[in-house]
């Protein structure tokens, strides 16, 4: 395939992740595709010079001129074309080849009977009996004296989506508390779109979530209600659910704590940072209206994590234990606002510094608070997975 038949002005996909990488003793750059399990490509260190010009605004000739000036030597257009050809063949460009691949993936997802488990056999045991034993052990390990007593069905829940091993104590506390009350009829789970590129601020899916312990049926009536109330395509970017883990953990753990009881779920991925999209207010009002009008017992569950700090998340230095203490202090202040139902104060506490802590709970928790209105919140557990390269924090809260 010649470059002349590719996009005239090549553009690197906006969702491609890049990080420094060592391979066979060579320093370089690793490109990773969030849509594909094995979608990775190692490039030499100098590749970044070319990648920064792949913005969809420059032709091959423009890139050649810019690089020649930058390097002070002639760069051959044939070399640039070959590099771009490799990116295209590996689906890293926003071009016709990738669009055909994406359309095929969307068709395949829509033909699936359910959304399959992404992490079964990797993040947790794949076999149901082994998984039950694993979760039994995880729940037994949580110090029981820290559990908050409750007999009231919560209106809202905040729970982690970090891997089970690092978040096990917080998972055990929050879901251990939930299992003390009967299940709701419907869990509207607000997850986080970590990687998929779409401008849809709230990505719904029509698929039931499969777990090794059984499926969580989707509430088709509730889904149809939102589809009618909202004036945009709520399924735009639905493919994001396929490789997104943030709804998978609540689906798994709700099925674990309620193995026999019937309940349904609607899964939505939050996908906004700034508040200038009018669809945010329209979604909040639709959600409020649904909560007022339905006869079902509904729980809003935000499946989120909090701070993401360190070089792996773009930090300029390693995280020290002193940094971890400061992160905890700031997180607890943020969580106090969240527990108090202060949606605007919570949002601006996170965004006051441009979300320097990379809190992915921002959108989902903001919407949850605005939809619920006045709440009484309780922080059940706060945890940190400390590592100098990538420290992640998470929490469990109950809102009544």
Burial of 247 (0-12, 13-18, 19+ CB in 10 A): buried
pLDDT digits (tens, 9 = 90+) for 205-252: 999 999 999 999 999 999 999 999 999 999 999 999 999 999 999 999
pLDDT (tens, 9 = 90+) of the chain, 400 residues, equals: 344 445 789 999 999 988 888 777 788 889 999 888 889 999 988 888 999 999 999 999 999 999 999 999 999 999 999 999 999 999 999 999 999 999 999 999 999 999 999 999 999 999 999 999 999 999 987 765 444 556 678 999 999 999 999 999 999 999 999 999 999 999 999 999 998 999 999 999 999 999 999 999 999 999 999 999 999 999 999 999 999 999 999 999 999 999 999 999 999 999 999 999 999 999 999 999 999 999 999 999 999 999 999 998 989 999 999 999 999 999 999 999 999 999 999 999 999 999 999 999 999 999 999 999 999 999 999 999 999 999 999 999 999 9
Residue 155: DSSP 8-state: S
- Paired with 295 in beta bridges are none
Range 105-111, long-range pairs (CB < 8 A, 24+ positions): 105/35, 105/239, 105/242, 106/238, 106/239, 109/207, 109/238, 109/239, 109/241, 109/242, 110/238
In order of start, what are the domains of the chain with their CATH numbers? 3-106 (3.90.930.60), 119-399 (3.40.830.10)
- The pTM (predicted TM-score) of the whole model is 0.90
CA-only gyration radius of the chain, Å: 23
Alpha carbon 182 to its chain's center:
28
- The span from the first CA to the last CA of the chain, in angstroms, equals 59
Please give the Cα distance from 142 to 149 (Å, whole number). 15
Contact, 208 vs 114, CB < 8 A?
A: yes
């Amino acid at each position: 395939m010649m470059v002349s038949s590719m996009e005239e002005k090549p553009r690197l996909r906006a969702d491609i992740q890049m990080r420094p990488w060592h391979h066979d003793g060579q320093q370089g750059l690793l490109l990773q595709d969030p849509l594909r399990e094995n979608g990775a490509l190692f490039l030499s260190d100098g590749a970044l010079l070319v990648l920064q010009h792949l913005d969809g605004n420059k032709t091959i000739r423009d890139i050649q001129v810019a690089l020649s000036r930058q390097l002070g030597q002639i760069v051959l257009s044939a070399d640039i074309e070959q590099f771009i050809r490799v990116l295209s063949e590996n689906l890293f460009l926003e071009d016709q080849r990738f669009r055909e691949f994406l359309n095929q993936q969307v068709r395949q997802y829509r033909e699936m009977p359910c959304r399959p488990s992404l992490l079964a056999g990797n993040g947790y045991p794949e076999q149901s009996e082994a998984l039950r034993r694993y979760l039994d052990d995880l729940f037994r390990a949580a110090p029981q004296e820290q559990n908050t007593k409750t007999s009231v069905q919560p209106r809202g829940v905040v729970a982690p989506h970090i891997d089970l091993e690092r978040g096990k104590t917080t998972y055990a506390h929050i879901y251990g508390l939930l299992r003390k009350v009967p299940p709701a009829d419907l869990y509207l789970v607000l997850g986080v779109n970590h990687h998929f590129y779409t401008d849809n601020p709230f990505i719904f899916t029509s698929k039931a979530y499969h777990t090794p312990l059984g499926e969580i049926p989707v509430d088709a009536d509730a889904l149809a209600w939102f589809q009618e109330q909202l004036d945009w395509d709520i399924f735009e970017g639905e493919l994001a659910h396929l490789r997104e883990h943030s709804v998978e953990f609540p689906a798994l753990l709700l099925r674990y704590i309620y193995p026999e009881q019937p309940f349904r779920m609607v899964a939505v991925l939050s996908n906004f940072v700034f508040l200038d999209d009018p669809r945010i207010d329209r979604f909040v009002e639709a959600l409020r209206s649904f909560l007022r009008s339905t006869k079902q017992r509904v729980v809003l569950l935000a499946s989120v994590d909090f701070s993401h700090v360190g070089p792996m998340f773009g930090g300029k230095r390693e995280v020290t234990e002193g940094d971890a203490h400061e992160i905890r202090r700031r997180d607890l202040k943020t969580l106090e606002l969240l527990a108090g139902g202060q949606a605007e104060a919570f949002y601006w506490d996170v965004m006051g510094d441009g979300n320097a802590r990379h809190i992915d709970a921002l959108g989902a928790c903001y919407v949850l608070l605005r939809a619920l209105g006045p709440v009484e919140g309780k922080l059940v557990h706060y945890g940190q997975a400390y590592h100098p390269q990538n420290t992640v924090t998470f929490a469990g809260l109950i809102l009544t």
